[in-house]
Structure 1
Amino acid sequence: MTTRQGFTNTFLSLIGCAAMLTLTVTAEAIEDERPAGLNGATWQFGPLNRWAYTHMSEVLPSKPIRHGTGSPRPLPGLKAAANDMTVDWNGAPRQLAALMEEQYIDGLLVMKNGRVLFERYAGTLTPERSHLLWSVSKTITGLTAASVAADGLIDLDKTVADYVPALADSGWGPDTLRDVLDMRDGSQWNEDYAAADSTVRRQDCADGLLTGPDCEGVPVVGNYRFLPTVGRMPDRQGSFVYKSGTTDVMAWVLEAATDKRFADLVSQRIWKRIGAEQDAGITVDTSGFTLASGGIHATLRDVGRVGQLILNRGQVGDERLFSPAWIDDIVSRDGSRSWPYAVEEGFRPYYRSFMWGLGDGRGSIQARGVHGQLIHVAPESKTLIVMLSSWPDAEGGAPQVGESTQQRLVQAIEAALP
């Protein structure tokens, strides 16, 4: 059920009674009720994912990403932020709250010039609850790598095999860390979410994150054993092909280079230093591998703090977490000549350091995740937009729901800002 916090709702219950009684309860109590039918085969998909994404520690084993013990870093403007606004949608004015419902958006945060202008929650998300970020986790992995590189603990010109001998004979062994960060590696990874036999789905099964008929015949062994079995396609090396497993390989490299668990690295180098107000978490597979490619779950406001870190080029207050050159390198890149996806006229998109460059001539970059997760960073206008969603399936799964509509909504929000 998708009622809003702070309202009351009437529902009928008392299963087993001859008469049905009408009870009035708070929306928060309803939203916290575990839905029937949620299991390892169903939690990723609608409608059950709307609850699951905000209760990940109850769905899968998770390791905390600790925030600092001091007061969280304030978000200026938060108390006065609007919880609805009018945008131009298909040539007519529409309220953003209504569009959020239509687009399965659970949380939306808009900031400009470092101030919060808009914050709204829907579904089962609240300010205190974390939400699964899916592949926005990849961008956080890239920022963690930036911090580790700033301390000289990794060399981007060295290979995966230099740091993780167990991956020497895998599809990533001879690839440099630079190519890994840009997903220009030569691994044989297949990212087809709709195919049960694709590498990304077999990884879900091998991790124990997905169960059911599609996982028959796939042993549950965890990433430390699964990733070394992925083969190589040498012709891919040097060209961008999106592959989630590549981010997990990078996390393994970071663990080997620092002798720390990946979740603890994110805590030490990012979460505590951005002044997060809540612990985040990251799903853990059966072998103890923390899933950097898509397992981080965090609150909307703390994801906003991550976005502000990107917009501020690695600076938080008086502290620098990594070199501004890391973000400058992402923002300033030219578009790929061999882009594998459809391109809107006037855009030259690219992928760099686990971030998507729009190639819009304004330096706009994004972190994206399936089921509608997004951090949009527009340096030219100093605008930040965070969306956390629960699309019914990875690519949308409902009419007029998906990436193209999401990008149009981002443009509409930007255009409506003062």
Structure 2
Amino acid sequence: MSSRTRTASSLLTTLSCAAMFAVSAPASSVEDERPEGLNGATWQFGPLNRWAYTHMSEVLPSKPIRHGSDSPRPLLGLDSAARDMTVDWNGMPRQLGALMDDQYIDGLLVIKDGRVVLERYAGTLTPERTHLLWSVSKTITGLTAASVAADGLIDLDKTVADYVPALTDSGWGPDRLRDVLDMRDGSEWNEDYAAADSTVRRQDCSDGLLTGPDCEGVAVIGNYLFLPAVGRMPGRQGSFVYKSGTTDVMAWVLEAATGKRFADLVSERIWKRIGAEQDAGITVDTGGFTLASGGMHATLRDVGRVGQLILHRGTVGEEQLFAPAWVDDIISRDGSRSWPYQAAAGFKPYYRSFMWGVGDGRGSIQARGVHGQLIHVAPETNTVIVMLSSWPDAEGGAPQVNESTQQQLVRAIETALP
């Protein structure tokens, strides 16, 4: 028997046994008391973020993303899904439950061939509670833009200034929407999470989302005033540089093009139509701007439905939410010619339409967020993997807790699936 066959056999046994137990503990069994010391300076970071990320409407002002009054679209296999499974981890068998604890993972959902094969919760996350998505929000913003574009309400060859005159003199004014979606704009945005004076941290302070010593001297004005003041770095235009503010600019464009609040657009064009079972939410800054770059919070299962929407190229049942070509364009790209990060041997990564191309030669694409949020979509194996986490800091903050280890775990799960 080959090692892959033994792994598959082991997994089938694990799934069969695990399905005999409840998928998750009832919500009432998970501690719900607000922890001491949680405030505007501490909520983003461990250990308090584990509670905060599942109670965002109690931490920051939020606007609901309504899921509609119809019954939710069923997730097939949910009733029999396993709670745990065995994977090969550095040459040794390990249970996913133990790896979740090691990696600060609060929720893990695996969907294979349209059926949920594993669902597991940890920390303070439950099936009914939403979890902060951080920059997975960007991908949902991109899908919303796809829907708006499908209706002809935006033209990707037009500029930001064509839709939002207030941004004409900003770092994004002359950029085409196509370049904005790919973060190839010319803004001077700085995404250094460790630097208190970086644009991304000053935005947090300006929004009122972060307080404390790092925010001294930063006026709380909100994005409608903060974004127009971000300058331009023309030499960047055309090359990928990751910038959260660029997604917020796209959300502003969508509001201007449709005359609707961004959260309502997500509700009408994505959330209701995927058959979500719970309202999602999105944090709102002091000026009423909804934080499209990282403020959405949703249940694990509904994030899985978003993954299925991507896997099925914009189709939900008989309804087409946006053109299949939108996802085909993301999947089919052959690496970035200006990739600014180190790439693993044999991988040709890229960024397109607010999604990360893994560059594995199999068309795998991902939505990623700091502190360990992930949707992995693998068309070749018809698999969706969702991880919602509370890493101690943005890029990990603990031994062997980082994006590299997360990607290793994704590959281990995919390999273990029969």
Task: Show structure 1 runs of 5+ residues with no match.
Answer: 9-25
| Aligned residue in 1 for 2:252 | 252
Aligned equivalent of 2:386: 386
Distance in 2, matches of 1:127 and 1:236, equals 42
Cα distance in 2 for partners of 1:384, 1:201 equals 32
- Counterpart of 2:338 in structure 1 is 338
CA distance in 2, matches of 1:312, 1:27: 36
Question: How big is the shift at 1:6?
Answer: 3.9
Q: What is the match of residue 124 of structure 1?
A: 124
Counterpart code for 1:221: I
CA contact (8 A) 2:26 2:126 kept: no
For 1:293-308, list aligned pairs within 5 A: 293-308=293-308
For residues 387 and 76 of structure 1, the distance between their equivalents in structure 2, rounded to whole angstroms, comes to 19
1:404 alignment counterpart: 404
Q: How far did 1:7 drift?
A: 8.6
Q: SS of the counterpart of 1:155? A: coil
Deviation digits for residues 118-177 of structure 1 (CA, Å, limit 9, x no counterpart): 000000000000000000000000000000000000000000000000000000000000
After the TM superposition, which segments of 4 or more aligned residues of structure 1 sit over 3 Å from their partners? 4-8
Letter in 1 for 2:95: Q
Q: Partner letter of residue 312 of structure 2?
A: N
Distance 1:111 1:5, change over 3 A: closer
**Cα drift, residue 5 of structure 1:** 7.0
Deviation readout 1:186-228 (Å, 9 max, x if unpaired): 0000000000000000000000000000000000000000000
Q: Aligned partners of 2:338 and 2:153: how far apart in 1? A: 32
Identity %: 86
Corresponding residue for 2:232?
232
Is the CA contact (8 Å cut-off) linking 2:159 and 2:176 kept in structure 1? Answer: yes
Equivalences for residues 79-118 of structure 1 within 5 A: 79-118=79-118
Q: Report the Cα offset of residue 338 of structure 1.
A: 1.7
TM-score (norm 1): 0.94
Cα shift at 1:59: 0.0
Amino acid in structure 1 at the alignment position of 2:319: E
Structure 1: distance between partners of 2:70 and 2:339: 44
Pairing of 1:250-399 with structure 2 (within 5 A)? 250-399=250-399
User: Given that residues 24 and 120 in structure 2 are in contact (C-alpha distance below 8 angstroms), is that contact kept between their aligned partners in structure 1?
Assistant: no
Query: Which position in structure 2 is the counterpart of 1:203?
Result: 203
Q: Distance in 1 between matches of 2:29 and 2:152?
A: 50
Matched residues in 1 for 2:285 and 2:124: separation?
A: 25
> Secondary structure at the residue paired with 1:326?
helix
Q: For the residues of structure 1 that align with 2:164 and 2:257, how far apart are their CA atoms?
A: 9
TM-superposed deviation, 1:27: 3.3
CA 1:348–1:34 in 2, change beyond 3 Å: closer, same or farther? same
Q: 1:331 to 1:7 in 2, by over 3 A?
A: closer
How many residues end up aligned between the 2 structures?
396
CA contact (8 A) 2:113 2:382 kept: yes
Q: Describe the SS at the equivalent of 2:381.
A: coil
Amino acid at match of 2:29: A
Q: Structure 2: which amino acid aligns with 1:356?
A: W
In the alignment, the residues of structure 2 paired with residue 254 and residue 5 of structure 1 have an alpha-carbon distance, to the nearest angstrom, of 38
- CA RMSD of the aligned region, Å? 1.1
Q: Secondary structure at the match of 1:245?
A: helix
Aligned position for 1:165: 165
2:52 is equivalent to residue 44 of structure 1? no
Query: Which stretch shifts more, 331-340 or 222-231?
Result: 331-340
Q: CA deviation at 1:68?
A: 1.3
Aligned residue type for 1:247? T
Q: How high is the TM-score relative to the length of structure 2?
A: 0.94
Contact 1:5 1:27 in 2 (8 A): no
Q: Is the 8 A contact 2:137 2:296 kept in 1?
A: yes
Q: Tell me how far apart the structure 2 counterparts of residues 375 and 212 of structure 1 sit (CA, whole Å).
A: 32
Task: Give a deviation string over 1:302-333, Cα, whole Å, max 9, x none.
Answer: 00000000000000000000000000000001
Match of 2:29 in 1: 27
| Structure 1 residue matching 2:368: 3-state secondary structure | strand
Q: Distance in 2 between matches of 1:54 and 1:81?
A: 23
Match of 1:57 in 2: 57
In structure 1, the residue corresponding to 2:107 is in which secondary structure? strand
What is the SS of the residue equivalent to 1:266? helix
Hey, what does 2:192 align to over in structure 1?
192
CA distance in 1 between counterparts of 2:156 and 2:109 reads 34
> Which residue in 2 is equivalent to 1:137?
137
Residue aligning to 1:74:
74
Q: What is the rounded CA distance, in whole Å, between the counterparts of 1:5 and 1:88 in structure 2?
A: 24
Residue in 1 aligned with 2:153?
Answer: 153
**Which structure 2 residue ranges, 5 or more long, are not aligned?**
1-22
